[in-house]
Amino acid sequence: MSSSSYVVRVAEDPADREACFAVRKEVFVVEQGVPEDIEYDAYDADALHVVAVREDGLPFGAGRLLYGEVAAAKTGGEPGVGSLGRLAVLKTARGLGVGVALVRGIEDAARARGLTAVDLHAQTHALGFYERLGYVAYGPEFLDAGIAHLAMRREL
């Protein structure tokens, strides 16, 4: 599957948001065993969601951006920093560039909102992926949903 056979877009309507949640459920809840009651949170209502959709309409990737006041708790309160999170790609689409396209789409949305950097909390097995995209780890390792993570940042 080439990048021309899918599109990454901001989730503008309820159907797109539901598609994002379905991808997250498959990756985080089913595959990784994250409890469903902590996968979806109060941030979802105000977050900017991004979805990757195949030509046939099937969603297979998702992510979200928190910015403004809601991002402060995740970014140390710095006003120009957004928080990238809940990045998920279905197993069948991994290795096709979908994750990169989602991250770049979220970064574009952050720039459009005047942000100067993006933070994220990376599962430690994904550090190399984010480092290749220009993110730099900082701070100590921590557990989130029982999974080891590190905070990372990329200046835009």
Tens of pLDDT, residue by residue over 6-28, are: 999 999 999 999 999 999 999 99
Give the range among 61-75, 87-101, 103-117, 120-134 with minimum mean pLDDT: 61-75
Q: Which residues contact 26 (CB under 8 A, 6 or more apart)?
A: 88, 90
Give CA torsion, residues 90, 94, 97, 99, to 10 deg: 50
Percentage of the chain beyond pLDDT 90 is: 78
| C-alpha torsion angle, residues 43, 36, 20, 54 (rounded to 10) | 160
Say what the pTM is.
0.91
Spatial separation of the C-alpha atoms in residues 53 and 8, rounded to whole Å: 6
Q: What is the pLDDT of residue 73?
A: 80
> pLDDT at residue 4 above 70?
no
pLDDT number for residue 2:
46
Q: How remote is the C-alpha of 140 from its chain's centroid? A: 21
